[in-house]
């Protein structure tokens, strides 16, 4: 495996004394921004599989521009109805014609989107309640040629100048937010509050052993009998979240607010017909939601890149975020002296993907001490994880890597 041509810069971080006030957010699977990320990635996977089957390689495409225009709906206890459908616009560039073969991009986009919506938003009729429009155009000739050269040489070249970042480990508050989301999707949260839909937004602010958790959760009208039932489900849900938070982060106190904007006395509550605010209350677009670790963490190193929808073989806006996270996690897991790690990878368009233009690793070691020989271990981990980028596309088109 060839070594990266650019030098590896290693920076020492001070000893970890506990993070200051943390603010951590996660947008659930039914949030309009997450829907856009998911549909962009599903479109990319569908294109990649078609390209592989017909041409023997993944062709140029970047379909990371998705816009969701919310609809209009009337929600009520015991049911509700859609008045105006949600509109989803899938944009970007792709190889639409190659060697006389037409690529059915529109058909692939609509089929992939509807399949995902059926699986994740069951209360939404993805035919009657959603209008999907594919506005993708042919990619530029020079980028298509770059793909052809890469395939001929067996070396993928970066098709953008971009940056990826990653860090490890997650803090207790960060793990707590993911645990709350998991519990609400697949655990006890849904049992104590059967009315909750997939559009769940979690905001946590924590310091030390206490945290405040604000949950915005779209309840589905047909699973809520009346205002008393709604109030009861909210109360049970708040207690459940407090218990999950205490267990996940070892908190002494967890102040939990569910649908804090409600005015129950006035009958103003977060009730929906389908379980997503996209039906009437909100719009969405790719790149405005979770980073690839599933979180929004403004106190940590982050990139603004939308990883979802970018091609899985040469777009470093996707690949370098995956690799940077893997490097940071591997350093913490495999080098005992390293207690925390951050990684930055910067590309230069046209250079081999496995050879970043700049690689920066920041590590915090035991007691802040510098340990002799640790730089060689860091370099070994970096080279190994960068080398794996040659095969990352396989995991991506098999949906084994979560991007949102």
Burial class (CB in 10 A: 0-12, 13-18, 19+), 23: middle
Q: What is the pLDDT of residue 141?
A: 83
Cβ 335 vs Cβ 182: under 8 Å: no
User: pLDDT of 344-398, one tens digit each?
Assistant: 999 999 899 999 999 999 999 876 556 667 999 999 999 999 999 999 999 999 9
Nearest Cα to 58, choosing from 318, 322, 404?
318
pLDDT tens-digit map of 180-199: 999 999 878 889 999 999 99
Q: What is the pLDDT of residues 111-150, one digit of tens each?
A: 999 999 999 999 999 999 999 999 999 988 887 888 888 8
Task: Give 96's Cβ-side CA count (13 Å radius).
Answer: 15
**E strands, 95-143, in order:** 97-98, 101-102, 130-134, 137-138
Confidence tier at 19 by pLDDT (50, 70, 90):
low
d(Cα 361, Cα 110) in Å, to the nearest integer? 41
More confident residue, 254 or 178: 178
The secondary structure of residue 392, as a DSSP letter, is H
- For residue 146, give the 3-state DSSP assignment: helix
CA 170/CA 336 separation, integer angstroms: 17
Residue 261's closest CA among 205, 220, 215? 215
Quick check: 1 pLDDT over 80? no
pLDDT score of 253 more than 80: no
Q: Mutual orientation of helices 172-186 and 227-249 as an angle, nearest 10°?
A: 140
**191: helix, coil or strand?**
helix
Bond into 169 cis (ω within 30):
yes
Predicted model pTM: 0.94
Q: For the chain, what's the residue count?
A: 404
C-alpha 163/C-alpha 358 separation (Å) is: 9
**Are 319 and 353 a contacting pair, CB within 8 Å?**
yes
324-357 confidence digits (pLDDT tens): 999 999 999 999 999 999 999 999 998 999 999 9
């Amino acid at each position: 495996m060839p070594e990266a041509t650019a030098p590896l810069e290693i920076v020492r971080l001070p000893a970890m004394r506990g993070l200051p006030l943390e603010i951590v957010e996660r947008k659930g699977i039914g949030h309009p921004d997450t829907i856009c990320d998911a549909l962009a990635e599903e479109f990319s996977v569908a294109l990649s599989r078609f390209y592989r089957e017909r041409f023997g390689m993944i062709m140029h495409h970047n379909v990371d521009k998705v816009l969701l225009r919310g609809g209009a709906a009337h929600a009520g206890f015991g049911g509700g109805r859609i008045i105006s459908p949600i509109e989803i616009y899938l944009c970007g560039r792709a190889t639409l014609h190659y060697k006389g073969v037409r690529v059915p991009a529109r058909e692939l986009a609509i089929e992939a989107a509807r399949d995902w919506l059926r699986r994740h938003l069951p209360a939404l009729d993805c035919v009657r309640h959603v209008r999907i429009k594919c506005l993708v155009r042919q990619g530029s000739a020079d980028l298509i040629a770059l793909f052809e050269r890469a395939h001929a040489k067996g070396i993928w070249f970066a098709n953008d100048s971009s940056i990826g970042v990653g860090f490890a480990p997650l803090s207790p508050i960060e793990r707590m937010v993911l645990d709350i989301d998991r519990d609400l999707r697949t655990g006890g949260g849904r049992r104590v509050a059967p009315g909750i839909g997939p559009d769940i937004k979690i905001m946590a602010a924590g310091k030390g052993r206490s945290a405040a958790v604000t949950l915005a959760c779209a309840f589905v009208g047909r699973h809520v009998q009346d205002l008393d039932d709604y109030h009861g489900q909210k109360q049970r849900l708040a207690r459940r979240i407090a218990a999950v938070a205490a267990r996940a982060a070892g908190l002494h106190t967890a102040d939990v607010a569910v649908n804090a904007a409600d005015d129950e006395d006035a009958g103003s509550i977060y009730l929906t017909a389908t379980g997503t605010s996209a039906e009437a209350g909100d719009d969405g677009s790719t790149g405005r939601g979770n980073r690839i670790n599933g979180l929004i963490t403004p106190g940590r190193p982050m990139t603004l890149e939308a990883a979802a929808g970018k091609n899985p073989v040469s777009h470093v806006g996707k690949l370098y975020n995956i690799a940077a996270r893997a490097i940071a996690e591997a350093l913490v897991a495999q080098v005992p002296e390293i207690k925390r790690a951050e990684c930055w990878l910067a590309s230069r368009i046209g250079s081999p993907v496995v050879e970043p233009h700049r690689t920066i690793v920041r590590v915090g070691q035991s007691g802040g001490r510098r340990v002799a020989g640790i730089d060689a271990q860091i370099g070994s981990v970096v080279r190994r994880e960068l080398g794996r980028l040659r095969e990352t596309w396989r995991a991506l088109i098999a949906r084994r890597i979560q991007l949102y």
